[in-house]
Amino acid sequence: MAWLPADFAHPTRVPLDGEHHLRPIRESDVDVDYPAVMGSRQRLWSLYGEKWGWPPADMTHEHDRVDLARHEREQDAHESFNYALFNADETELYGCVYIDPVEDPERTDDARISWWVVDDRVGTDLERALDAFVPRWIAEVWPFTSPHYGI
């Protein structure tokens, strides 16, 4: 897509600290993604519900799997990116970072960046580390000149 250079290679594993890392989410992550999302659903709905209609109260494991498969295809095509925040052995998913093109042609931003952590990590060192890391990572690694942080 025009929002990224043709030769841009997106990161496939990004260390956050000694215990956590980010990597593009996959369909096969559904068993750790679904409980993370649904366990934080009300807060996530307050952040993303109006814009994305997500996550719906009736989202099933299968619906989440289909959604993750779509994210995986979009990442492969460089259309948008969903990076999951994992513990070292990827048995727990603690949040996500979204990197999307700006859909409004009137806007001058070249990307929309947002992120979240699960409810039990809100206000913790992990959330603070992610909050500090994401803007720095975007500035240092991604080819954007005017990203928008938020929904």
Closest Cα to residue 35, out of 16, 59, 15? 59
- Region 77-88 average pLDDT: 97
pTM: 0.95
Structure confidence at residue 91 (pLDDT) = 98
- CA pair distance 66, 64, nearest whole angstrom: 5
Structure confidence at residue 1 (pLDDT) = 43
Domains belonging to the chain, first-starting first, are 14-149 (3.40.630.30)
- CA pair distance 124, 133, nearest whole angstrom: 14
Question: Is there a cis peptide before residue 55, judged by omega within 30 degrees of 0?
Answer: yes
Token output for 105 = 């042609």
Q: What is the mean pLDDT of the chain?
A: 96
- Region 56-67 average pLDDT: 97
Percent of the chain with pLDDT over 90: 91
How big is the CA angle at 143 (ends 141 and 137), to the nearest 5 degrees? Answer: 30
CB 37 within 8 A of CB 55: yes
Beta-strand relationship, 111-117 and 147-149: parallel
